[in-house]
Structure 1
Amino acid sequence: MPEEELVELKFRLYDGSDIGPFRYSPTSTVSMLKERIFAEWPKDKKIIPKAANDIKLINAGKILENNKTVGQCRVPFGELPKGVITMHVVVQPSLAKAKSGRFYSQIQSKLCDYLLLF
């Protein structure tokens, strides 16, 4: 039985720094990647996720779903040489902050509408 080929991934944070690279099996799930990123997150960053679920991974412009495998998320690169794949990491704000932010956006929008009347 042939040995499965590992995929080398690194994760680019909001400030341009990286976590990794690490090697993963193509059967590893996005959820597993997020757990590893959460465990390896540098403690000196201004933005720190509170849980692995606060992390969103983006590859080739698409947000990856937790239940997808690394093999399913790989973009076919044809005959390009194999190398490290960079995935971008976004920390999603907590639900409470997101709700309050939407609330203030709605107020600002209503205020602008009101001012346009005058």
Structure 2
Amino acid sequence: MSDDIELKFRHVSGDIGPIKVPGSSSILQVKELVFAQWPKDGPVSADKASAPPELRLILGGKFLAESETLNDLRPAMGEIKADTIVTMHVIVRAAPAGKPQGKEKKEQQQGCSCSIQ
């Protein structure tokens, strides 16, 4: 019996995969594979992440932690046979807006503010 798990990723604009992944892979490694195989054209291509950590994977209604492995999640996947394809949902989460970068960070530290009248 192979340790590989065939995964398909459902995005609001379409599906990605299936991709065959070793069961020992971490969710971060799975995100890196999905990021590398993200479609370059079609509806899904419009919502590409800029880095793998921006991808959020969901299985059984639960956001998956990057440190979990696919083998850890086998109970949530049900019985996996040779022809089983496990579907996960994938969403793109933009970088947090509350953490300013570069010049914005410097301006914020200097006490910039806005007022609406």
Normalising by structure 2, report the TM-score. Answer: 0.70
The alpha-carbon deviation at position 78 of structure 1 amounts to 5.2
Post-superposition CA distance 1:42-67 (Å, at most 9, x none) = 23322110100100000010000001
Secondary structure of 2:12 counterpart: coil
Q: CA RMSD in A?
A: 2.4
* Greater Cα offset, 6-15 or 48-57: 6-15
- Unpaired runs of 5+ residues, structure 2, are 99-117
Contact kept? 1:58, 1:64, Cα under 8 Å: yes
- 1:49 matched to 2:49? The reply is yes
Structure 1 counterpart of 2:101: none
In structure 2, what residue type is equivalent to 1:58? Answer: I
Secondary structure of 2:67 counterpart: coil
Runs of 4+ in 1 over 4 A off after TM superposition: 78-82
Query: Is the helix fraction higher in 1 or 2?
Result: 1
Contact kept? 1:64, 1:73, Cα under 8 Å: no
Normalising by structure 1, report the TM-score. Answer: 0.70
- 1:31 matched to 2:28? The reply is yes
Spell out the pairing of 1:1-118 with structure 2 (5 A cutoff). Answer: 4-15=2-13, 17-44=14-41, 45-74=45-74, 75=76, 77=78, 83-96=84-97, 99=98
Structure 1 counterpart of 2:114: none
Structure 2 CA distance for aligned equivalents of residues 60 and 78 of structure 1: 14
Cα gap change, 1:78 to 1:18, in 2 (>3 Å): closer
- Unpaired runs of 5+ residues, structure 1, are 100-118
Give me the identity figure in percent: 34
In structure 2, what residue type is equivalent to 1:92? Answer: R
Secondary structure of 2:72 counterpart: helix
Query: Is the strand fraction higher in 1 or 2?
Result: 2
Aligned residues: 95
Post-superposition CA distance 1:67-102 (Å, at most 9, x none) = 110011221525988510000001002222xx4xxx
